[in-house]
Amino acid sequence: MRFISLAAFLAATLVAVPAFAQQGGPPSVGVLKPTVKPITESSNFVGRVQATNKVDIVARVTGFMAERFFVEGGEVEKGALLYRLERAPFEADLAAKQATVAQIQALLRNAQITLGRAQSLLNGPAGQRSTVDDAQAQVASYQAQLAAAQAQAQTSQINLDYTEIHAPVSGKIGRTAFTPGNVVTPASGPITSLVSQDPMWITFPISVRSALELRNRYADQGGFVAVQVHVKLSDGTDYAPVGKVDYLDPSVASATDTVTMRAIIPNPLRPGAKPNEPGNRDLIDGSFVTVSVQGIQPVMALTLPRSAVLTDQQGNFVYVVDADNKAQVRRIKLGQSTPDLAVIASGVTDADLVITEGLQRVRAGAPVMAGPAGGPPVMPSGQPAKG
């Protein structure tokens, strides 16, 4: 008589029983159909804030700095007086040059009178052609001297004007490198800097492929004109103003296969902030931000809960329930998705029943007891299952 162990007996018995019979029937799963929803597609990049105008203020003449008229770190308007250098030496030089101009003008008038007299006597017995020629040459000489003297006077006037240094653009001014009483020269380098504040540029590298996808995605809406740029500050705060793309670099960085895209965005004063208050605006020249490039209008796309999408070595897939109430693998291609919502580019339609609940109990080709996601399961006959 042959004896077998209890373990072997149980193993042989279980092999003969279907899996769903061992567990009391097919597993219960929740299903739903993919739905079409308006989706705002976005692409994220790391960008840098850049001022639209950034000017180093330098002295145009050599002189003692007499006065400073701004608050360091404050904001100034275009044309505002920033510095005044000692003016007396330049005023004296201008006066001397103007006196030279007046002297030559007097000599020129006398030469013109002499020329007129010589010309009037030319037709008489006392007239000589050589006298007229000499008078004409003298007039021409004084005219040339007058032009040179006027140019020198103009140069002196320009140098005098340079003793007052004005803001070439509106913006926030930096620290001063020289205080009143110091001598500054054109070789002294920048004495301060001026950075424009509103609007600002946001520059960020984007791959050539992504740039082409963005252009083609919104081609029927105007291409990059239809793109909005949203910014998140370095502390994670969403920045309210929205930017517009205004420039795409015509050259590709060969090392990274990227191009530089630029957006222009408002940078208003923060609510309640004052122009000369530090930190009165959110965007600071040179700072890093997170850039989200989005379309102006949402696009209609087929969507599923992100939890329904599984991934293996071959890519993304979902389980769908076929007409025989069996789970089947369906390969899909994802579009612009979010952590909660999967946008389906291809692979399923809005008529498919996609399993979204009970995925851990599903096997490809095995029967399932499907019901609406979040509701009671139903039997293959369509009757609700008894609890």
CATH number at residue 32: 2.40.420.20
Are both 294 and 308 inside the same structural domain?
no
* Spatial CB neighbours of 30, under 8 Å, sequence gap ≥ 6: 355, 356, 357, 358, 370, 371, 372, 373, 374, 375, 377
Last residue of a domain, one of 272, 299, 326: 299
pLDDT band at residue 170, thresholds of 50, 70 and 90? very high
H helices of the chain, where?
6-15, 19-22, 88-121, 129-161, 208-217
Are both 200 and 275 inside the same structural domain?
yes
Type of residue numbered 344: I
Average pLDDT over residues 274-282: 82
Average pLDDT over residues 354-367: 87
Residue 270 covered by a domain: yes
pLDDT in tens, 106-146: 998 988 888 887 777 766 665 577 777 788 898 898 899 99
> Please, which residues bridge with residue 190 across strands?
none
Distance CA 220, CA 147 (A): 63
**Mean pLDDT lowest among 15-29, 35-49, 203-217, 248-262:** 15-29
Integer-rounded Cα Rg, in Å, for the chain is 42
Which pair of structure tokens corresponds to residue 49?
A: 């804030």
pLDDT band at residue 84, thresholds of 50, 70 and 90? very high
Are both 212 and 291 inside the same structural domain?
yes
Are both 281 and 367 inside the same structural domain?
no
**Mean pLDDT lowest among 118-122, 302-306, 360-364:** 118-122
**Is residue 227 within 8 Å of residue 206, measured between CB atoms?**
no
**Is residue 326 within 8 Å of residue 26, measured between CB atoms?**
no
Q: What is the DSSP string of 10-69?
A: HHHHHHTS-HHHHTTSSPEEEEE--EEEEE--EEEEEEEEEES-EEEE--SS-EEEEEE-
Mean pLDDT taken over the chain = 83
Q: What are phi and psi of 48, to 5 degrees?
A: -130, 140
Residue 327 has pLDDT above 50, yes or no: yes
Residue 263 pLDDT: 92
Distance CA 285, CA 53 (A): 10
In eight-state DSSP terms, residue 386 is P
- Containing domain of residue 150, as a range? 87-162
Residue 211 pLDDT: 82
Asked whether the CA dihedral 291, 297, 300, 304 is positive or negative, the reply is positive
Residue 7 has pLDDT above 80, yes or no: no
pTM of the model: 0.65
Residue 24 pLDDT: 60
Residue 348 pLDDT: 87
Are both 349 and 284 inside the same structural domain?
no
Are both 223 and 293 inside the same structural domain?
yes
Residue 358 pLDDT: 86
Q: What are phi and psi of 50, to 5 degrees?
A: -140, 135
Residue 190 has pLDDT above 90, yes or no: yes
Residue 20 has pLDDT above 60, yes or no: no
Residue 332 covered by a domain: yes
Which pair of structure tokens corresponds to residue 124?
A: 């008489």
Last residue of a domain, one of 299, 326, 356: 299
Residue 205 covered by a domain: yes
Are both 241 and 291 inside the same structural domain?
yes
- Helix 129-161 with 88-121: angle, nearest 10 deg: 160
Query: Tokens 């597609």 map to which residue?
Result: 41
Provide the 3-class DSSP secondary structure of residue 112.
Answer: helix
Residue 16 covered by a domain: no
Last residue of a domain, one of 267, 299, 331: 299
Q: How many domains is the chain built from?
A: 3
Residue 374 has pLDDT above 70, yes or no: no
Are both 266 and 336 inside the same structural domain?
no
